């Protein structure tokens, strides 16, 4: 039993060390982003100027965070597909919001704009300019409200 405990402890330490060593953050130039991310930025944020790009390499995945001079932040996966968009005080481009979610917000919160959208395994989480957070399932049905 003592050998098993020792072996388990050594394996846990080795895994922790490997995880620590393999987690790397790097600041990149925009041209190092995946092509899909560059195309996305050109299409939906053509007027925004990129402040910096950060690449986060972990043991099992790589993500890219793009921060614009106006404070807008977009997170992309390793293939350049967006995962999270935070426009701070301005509206997320309407074309990026699923129709059912946009319609729900129009009807239930007139005059409010969506300033943040996050893809989740259950669907989408959005934040309105008022700070109210709404969670929707994959079909665009409201499942939770958090203020």
Whichever domain contains 38, its CATH number is: 3.40.1420.30
Environment class of residue 97 by beta-carbon count within 10 Å: exposed (0-12), middle (13-18) or buried (19+)? buried
Whether residue 93 sits in one domain with residue 66: no
Per residue in 126-143, pLDDT tens? 999 999 999 999 999 999
* pLDDT bucket at 147, cuts 50 / 70 / 90: confident
pLDDT at 120 over 60: yes
Determine, yes or no, domain membership for 95.
yes
Largest CA-CA distance found in the chain, in angstroms, rounded = 65
Cβ proximity of 96 and 56 under 8 Å: no
Mean pLDDT across 83-105 = 96
pLDDT at 24 over 90: no
For 130, the domain range is 89-147
Length of the chain counted residue by residue: 147
Q: 102: part of which helix (H) or strand (E)?
A: helix 99-108
**How many other C-beta atoms can be found within 10 angstroms of the C-beta atom of residue 66?**
25
Cβ proximity of 92 and 114 under 8 Å: yes
Whether residue 93 sits in one domain with residue 80: no
Last residue of a domain, one of 37, 63, 86: 86
């Amino acid at each position: 039993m003592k050998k098993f405990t020792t072996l388990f402890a050594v394996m846990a330490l080795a895994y922790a060390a490997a995880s620590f060593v393999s987690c790397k953050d790097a600041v990149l130039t925009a041209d190092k982003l995946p092509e899909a991310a560059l195309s996305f930025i050109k299409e939906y944020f053509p007027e925004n100027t990129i402040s910096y790009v950060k690449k986060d390499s972990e043991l099992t995945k790589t993500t890219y965070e793009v921060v614009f001079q106006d404070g807008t932040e977009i997170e992309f996966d390793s293939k350049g597909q967006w995962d999270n968009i935070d426009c701070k005080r301005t509206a997320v481009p309407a074309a990026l919001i699923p129709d059912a979610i946009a319609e729900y917000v129009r009807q239930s919160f007139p005059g409010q704009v969506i300033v943040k959208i996050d893809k989740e395994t259950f669907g989408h989480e959005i934040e309105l300019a008022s700070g109210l957070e709404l969670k929707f399932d994959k079909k665009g049905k409201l499942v939770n409200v958090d203020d």
